Amino acid sequence: MSLDTDTVRKIAVLARIKIEDKKLSPLADELNNIIGWVEQLSEVDTDGVAPMTSVAEMTMPSREDVITDGDCEDRVLANAPDKVAPYFTVPKVVE
């Protein structure tokens, strides 16, 4: 499966990374190279094999329904690049 510049552009949007137009083609080449290489997996017989979802062979641990966290606006906001405490801020979104 080949990636063209259009596909790269679409993926870049999905990943929210701006790619300059002139970089799209060389990037498509690089990615195609890698995708071409990983495609050798299609050689492997995997009929009836369950995908490995977890290395650890254990059941999901859970916690009790108790409040143990929160109430730390200062810590949560400490590293915010732009804030009007106690809110984070972003450029205006129009819905």
> Which positions from 3 through 62 interact with other proteins, judged by CB under 8 A?
3, 7-8, 11-19, 27, 30-31, 33-35, 37-44, 46, 49-62
Closer CB to other proteins, 22 or 70, in the complex: 70
- Asked if 76 contacts 88 with a C-beta cutoff of 8 angstroms, the reply is no
Cα–Cα nearest to 5, from 33, 32, 38: 32
What is d(CA 66, CA 68) in angstroms, rounded to the nearest whole number? 6
Please pick, from the candidates 2, 21, 22, 92, the single residue that binds other proteins as defined by CB under 8 A: 92
- Binding residue (CB under 8 A) for other proteins from 2, 21, 22, 86: 86
- Looking at residue 16, the DSSP 8-state letter turns out to be T
Q: Which of 2, 21, 22, 63 binds other proteins (CB under 8 A)?
A: 63
Residue 87, interface with other proteins (CB under 8 A)?
Answer: yes
Question: Comparing C-alpha atoms, which of 3, 1, 87 is closest to residue 41?
Answer: 1
